[in-house]
Amino acid sequence: MKAHRTLLIKLPRDKCDVDYIRRLMALTNSAYHGFEIWEPDIPKTTQHHLYGSFMNYMGSLVFGTKPKRWFAETWVPLKTLRVYGDGSMKGDRSAPVVLDFRNNVIKLRQVCRNEPRYTVELPMPKWVVERIKEDGDVKYAMIGLKDNEPYLALVAEREVKPYQLSGYVLVVDVNSWKYGIAWGLIKNGKLITWRTERPGTFLINTLYHQAVDRERKAGKLRRLGYGGTAVVNRVRKQAKARRGKIYRITRDKAYFLASKLVRKALKYKALLVIDDMSEESRRELLEEGLPRDVIKLLMSNLRRFVHQLETLAQWYGVPYRFERLPSTVCPVCHHELTQLPGRTMACGNCGFKAPRDMVPMYWVI
Ligand SMILES: [Zn+2]
């Protein structure tokens, strides 16, 4: 089985001709629809790469089964040449993307600007070196625009064999950040360890209230006739920065947790069971009467977490599956559970009792 991981690198805007990249994307898009258009002013080599290698790309992940979220437009697929530390090479010698591990640079030839021999050099990201150490190979790259900024996407590929399961099961329950992401390690019908993970809520609360305060202040100033002035703009900027910081905190936590949980699964050779109950959690937060913008922040980056968890599981060969494990139905007798204070769930029929976030673990047991 082949696994893939992608890294996005922002390209220096002053060294890239955004209009030229947009033209290449348009050509790629028509190539994707089966048209071959030869533009006289675009280097032949670049167009050869587009049409010559196009058939190879048709079945590949570039135009493949799972379009990445940033592929609202067609990105330009590029071949890569890999030059390793011992001088050995892999790939096409005339490839527009050169990964040079001797000098630790990435060279982009003739794709950032329509000038003969125009080359942009980037430092080699640590990410690439790590993937190579894990027997990965960066065979593909793509260039394109995201929010009108030029980016390079590097796609690492690796041949994986999923491991033999040891009997351990790692259940991951995706809630909102308010109650956190719950996980439990189960063996032979016993819950061995479990935890709920979430970012520090104190900092998030503080930042949120600071943001709301500043938004109110800006509104007040606007109503007093100061709209559009430097003061109002500064206050609004401060509010935006605080909301952005909350978003970054949940994003970092999402990436950190995905990596931690996949390493845990690897260590125990466990089956990874992912219960994505974020929709149910959203409803729970709505029922609690939280404002919509708070709910949005408490749910931010959860989809990214699930996506990263799945990507890492595939990359490291961790067998996984998605399963809906209801937290409002009794895992013993399938009766409806009632919620007691403190988010404890209780069954009126058989007497089962557990914290709400633990109920899914009992379903697995
Ligand atoms: Zn019951």
CA–CA dist 351, 332 (Å, integer): 9
Alpha carbon of 287 to ligand 1 centroid (Å): 24
Alpha carbon of 250 to ligand 1 centroid (Å): 35
What's the token pair of residue 117? 């021999």
What's the token pair of residue 234? 């500064």
Alpha carbon of 362 to ligand 1 centroid (Å): 12
The predicted structure's pLDDT at residue 305: 95
Alpha carbon of 315 to ligand 1 centroid (Å): 39
The predicted structure's pLDDT at residue 66: 40
The predicted structure's pLDDT at residue 92: 84
Dihedral over alpha carbons 175, 179, 185, 190 (to 10 degrees) = -110
Alpha carbon of 359 to ligand 1 centroid (Å): 11
Alpha carbon of 325 to ligand 1 centroid (Å): 15
Summarised one tens digit per residue, pLDDT across range 226-280 is 878 888 899 999 999 999 999 999 999 999 999 999 999 999 999 999 998 888 8
Alpha carbon of 334 to ligand 1 centroid (Å): 6
Could you tell me the pTM of the whole model?
A: 0.84
- Residue 41 in 3-state DSSP? coil
The predicted structure's pLDDT at residue 57: 53
Among 279, 347, 276, smallest CA distance to 308 is for 276
Summarised one tens digit per residue, pLDDT across range 72-94 is 467 888 889 999 989 899 988 88
Alpha carbon of 329 to ligand 1 centroid (Å): 8
CA–CA dist 231, 292 (Å, integer): 27
Residue 153: how many CA atoms within 13 Å on its side-chain side?
23
CA–CA dist 309, 275 (Å, integer): 12
Alpha carbon of 46 to ligand 1 centroid (Å): 66
Alpha carbon of 40 to ligand 1 centroid (Å): 74
Alpha carbon of 169 to ligand 1 centroid (Å): 23
Alpha carbon of 14 to ligand 1 centroid (Å): 65
Alpha carbon of 3 to ligand 1 centroid (Å): 42
Alpha carbon of 198 to ligand 1 centroid (Å): 29
Alpha carbon of 331 to ligand 1 centroid (Å): 7
What is the distance of C-alpha 315 from the center of its chain?
A: 14
Alpha carbon of 343 to ligand 1 centroid (Å): 17
Alpha carbon of 360 to ligand 1 centroid (Å): 14
The predicted structure's pLDDT at residue 10: 94
Alpha carbon of 349 to ligand 1 centroid (Å): 5
Write phi, then psi, for 316 (nearest 5 degrees): -95, 5
Query: Taking the chain (365 residues) in consecutive chunks of 10 residues, what is each chunk's mean pLDDT?
Result: 89 92 84 74 74 54 41 75 92 89 93 88 94 90 89 91 93 92 93 92 90 92 86 91 93 96 97 91 90 90 94 95 90 92 91 90 90
Write phi, then psi, for 342 (nearest 5 degrees): 80, 20
Alpha carbon of 346 to ligand 1 centroid (Å): 8
Among 203, 171, 199, smallest CA distance to 185 is for 171
Alpha carbon of 194 to ligand 1 centroid (Å): 22
- Residue 319 in 3-state DSSP? coil
Alpha carbon of 337 to ligand 1 centroid (Å): 7
Alpha carbon of 332 to ligand 1 centroid (Å): 5
Alpha carbon of 361 to ligand 1 centroid (Å): 15
Alpha carbon of 336 to ligand 1 centroid (Å): 8
CA distances from 268 to 130, 189, 196, 358 (A): 23, 15, 19, 21
